[in-house]
Amino acid sequence: MNQTDFLAFFTETMFLGISLANWFIALAATTLAFTAARGALALLKRRLQARGNAEDSNFRRIAAEVISGTSNALLLLACFLIGLGLLDLPERWTNRVSSLWFVVAVLQVALWAHRGLALGMASYFRRHAPAQGAQISALASLTLWGAKVLLWTVVLLAMLSNLGVNITAFVASLGVGGIAVALAVQNILGDLFASLSIAVDKPFEVGDFIVVGSLAGTVEHVGLKTTRIRSLGGEQVVMSNTGMLAATIQNYKRLQERRVVFSFRLPYDCTLEQVRQVPDIVEAAVRAQKLTRFDRAHLQAFGEHALQFEVVYIVLDPGYNVYMDIQQAINFTLMERFAEIGVRFAVPIRTIHVASVPDELQNAGGFFPPASQAADGRQPAAGNA
């Protein structure tokens, strides 16, 4: 077979109504386009990675990661469509190839956007994570999930619209279905939005010591639906995020200084001079402690059975054990100083008034003990016990 016959074979032999020469040209164009595209992407990736020391290195690193995530299947399909463009296709096939071009391009752009969103948001939340942990917060997870859902919803609607589907009716049906699903999982959605509220408002974070109702413990994890707390007893308590926000939360981790109010009582048999010395003794006892700031000490009121004093001071350290050590030292000092000036603390007294006493108990001596058996050696007055 000479060269003329060889060329005639390729130009005159038909496959699906297209000559073999045309098919060969399309295949060569596909191979050349794929090789050139892969080479261009590899070159662009190397350039981005080579400039990693620049100020915007984080952006370049993310861009390089996005480029490396290019789908080979979609790239090969795009190059195949380039080859098909060189064929003498019927008009109906030309329209289908145009629609397929749009689908391939949108899918590849969506994959790049998906990867870029994940890497970019992970990098952002990692840089802004709290100092006590690098774990991505619930806000990051929820935001990333919402962005991905929105992205792929737009991509799906765009492809359906390009393929000739009436998306108006489709969106309406999705709305009705979405309402039904929302009603079915409203408790879960409530916890999800509560998680978003916790992440944005930050009433507490991982590592904070909080009190919620009767529960006190350290926050270990804030999830999309629940919050896990390690209680003082050692067990892990799991609470729904909605329940957490519905309760009053006391966050002791953010306590900068502790205001302490305590009171004590002295008996009425104290002299005026002794009572006047009490505020000065209390002030000296408070000021003698480190990490304290004295506020006030006063004779607050004349109680029913004793003189009531109230003391206020500030502990400059938020630690509970520090506060208890200081309070204990103040109590010891007060006991020592009051003993030096002859003052004792008032003891609780309860007086019972008896309206009447049965005659049988009085005659039998069963109500009042004899004087020799009284606790203080004295016969109680009638009508008191």
Please give the pLDDT value at position 330: 96
DSSP secondary structure, 269-319, as one string? TS-HHHHHHHHHHHHHHHHTSTTEEEEEEEEEEE-SSSEEEEEEEEESS--
CA atoms within 13 A on the CB side of 70: 19
- What is residue 47's three-state secondary structure? helix
Question: Cα separations (Å) of 306 from 162, 343, 349?
Answer: 89, 13, 9
Query: What domains are defined for the chain?
Result: 8-162 (no CATH), 187-251 (2.30.30.60), 258-340 (3.30.70.100)
Phi and psi of 134, rounded to 5°? -100, 5
Please give the pLDDT value at position 245: 85
Q: How far apart are CA 285 and CA 307, in angstroms?
A: 20
Tens digit of each residue's pLDDT, the chain (385 residues) = 555 655 555 555 665 556 666 677 777 777 888 888 888 888 887 777 776 555 556 777 777 777 777 778 888 888 777 776 666 665 666 666 677 777 788 888 888 888 888 887 777 767 665 544 434 555 666 677 778 888 888 888 777 777 777 767 666 666 666 666 666 566 677 777 787 778 777 888 888 889 988 888 999 988 878 899 999 888 999 988 888 888 888 888 888 889 999 999 999 999 999 999 999 999 999 999 999 999 999 999 999 889 999 999 999 988 888 999 999 999 999 999 999 999 999 987 777 777 776 666 556 555 455 444 444 444 444 444 3
Please give the pLDDT value at position 259: 92
Among candidates 378, 291, 281, which has minimal Cα distance to 335?
Answer: 281
Please give the pLDDT value at position 237: 92
Span between the terminal Cα atoms of the chain, in Å: 136
Please give the pLDDT value at position 226: 86
Please give the pLDDT value at position 229: 93
The H or E element that residue 48 is part of is helix 20-50
Residues near 85 by Cβ (< 8 Å), separated by ≥ 6?
97
